[in-house]
Structure 1
Amino acid sequence: ELIVIRTGQVLKVHLHTDQPEDAFSYLRGLGTLVAHKAEDMHAQHDAVRRSGSSTVRRRVGVITDSASDLPDPVAKAHGIGIVPLQLVVGGESLRDRFDVSAEEFHRRMAAAGPLPTTSQPTPGSFVEAYRSAATEAESLVVVVLGSRLSGTYASAEAAARLVPEVGVRIVDSGGASLLTGMLALRAAELAEDGLDADRIAEEVIRIRKRSNILFTVRTLERLIASGRVNRFAGWLGGFLDLKPVLGLEVDGSVKAYGKARGGERVRKLILDMVEKEIGSAPGRARFGLVHVGAPEELEPVEAELRRRFGSDVEILTSPATPVLATHLGIGAWGVAYVVED
């Protein structure tokens, strides 16, 4: 069975095949593969049979938070629920990503507009997401922003205790942005393959140990103000034209990886570090590129990733969500990588 629907410049393709990777490879040769998924129909049928309900479509549903920076087409294609963090501007509470887009927020930052305060999602937001997702899934895997960076994990745990009738397995990604997003994406793919929640969580935790995000900022001012990198306050030693390269430990704490002078040298340093960490032939790997009001930084980075790792390597791109942008500052950008083998 093959169904092709055209919407503007986008083709939506649905087909039944025993070789989904071959289909994905073929489609990449025709254009940009924005999002894709491969679902095990036998697993879907088994979930419906076990639940006795026609509304249950999958064994495991996946939820993440707005700081995952997962592009909307990807989240929608895989049915990944997104719980928003909070922004407070002038006493008004806004839902990160939902009430204000990343692009709009970046424009405000570039115009030196007032910056908001930020906070984790409320437990109530997670409860709502759990109950909604549970109408279509037997159990849930929730992959969230690292607990060393935010109280999001604590909110997700508190919410799970409020809905004991829903089976919830929460994974601390120890990450942020597309590192968290790609881990959630992998969880969704494993769910589509029919794995149970415990096995999915274990695999995501294993993959995280081989994955990371490296990023640079135009200035450390916002990160220091956020209280997340106080120990780096004097790290640049007064050399204001040096740009830091930062990353995350497996537990989610911020680590300084190096520094370089000038944009090209920073770019090379980050890409060299990525290649050193995963090797030039990483097997199954994904990359994610994120920026704060600096999309021009991503094109040469993507080109170099494809030169080093192959033209067919999967690369997601996304503007940083407003909560993350608030702490990183305008001009920040980064490379996340997830090694799945």
Structure 2
Amino acid sequence: MNIKFEEREELKEKIKDVNNLGFGQYFTDYMFLMNYDEDTGWHDARIVPYDNISLPPSAMCLHYGQTIFEGLKAYRNGDKVFLFRPDENFKRMNRSNDRLCIPPIDEEFMVEALKKLIDLERDWIPDSKEASLYIRPFVIAIDPKLGVHPSGSYLLMIILSPSGPYYKDGLAPIKIYVEDKYVRTVKGGLGTAKAGGNYAASLKSQVEAEEKGFSQVLWIDGVNRKYIEEVGSMNIFFVTEDEIMTPELSGSILPGITRKSIIELLKSEGKKVVERRISIEEILTLHKEGKLLEIFGTGTAAVISPVGELFYEGTEIIVNNGEIGEISNYLYNELTDIQWGRKKGPEGWQVEV
């Protein structure tokens, strides 16, 4: 499939202060679009000036939530630009598509289309050790019909946003509230898909947690109300003297690409990594016995996010005196060195644009 290109009449002024970029506030000159309809399939791939889009009020995405998205980054190291395992993002995108009855995309084509878009916008990638270009591919249902059934037409888009360092003052532990009232998803629901509805379901908890002084919410399962699942924007790991544990992908947890990469890195170095059901009571016991050494989250935005405190039903769990643990710090440096091309990673992890 050819990709058409529509040039802007005038380019935007680039953002110079990378320390005040924030996240998702500024957008580049161009975006990628591609349409789907039942007769033609995916077609009309194009790179066009970033602009508003027009949808009828009856567009199905606005009523029934048939939307999915992905998130990844482009990293600059001098004159070189790298993507980190983009094939994994488009594989996961297709798993989300399948769950929401959206037609599959050609994963190899999407990687090449993304590389073309990034190459065009490479001047937007911040030239800073910790800043990057955030990439948001997404699909929305656009049939102008009311009725609860899959759409027959879709719009796929990729937009780009230069983003500053996640930690402005350096890597720092966060405080997490363990949710004991609301439920985000259950096995058989949308938890394994990167769907907009998952994040809508998390907003109430996130707002209440922030009001209490916590930056993130840790979800426990919606059936037994005791097994740990994931943080709102991250998967989670627990470090003891004997092993590094993370909740198994039980059907209600998003299979994070950073999670997968961290597990592969740890195993390649001979560390014992266990994926299984982990109850919040087990974590409380490990902490009480002095066996809980570290907690950290993994995700695209923060890469590694050390956890200094968990709060559950009135109990504070202070981890490693609220300081960054040795493994968390090592993994952050190791993975970011690979992502920015400062160090060679496993085969296929670094994709140069």
- Shared topology, TM-score over 0.5? no
Return the TM-score normalized by structure 2: 0.26
Structure in which a larger fraction of residues adopt helix: 1
Return the TM-score normalized by structure 1: 0.26
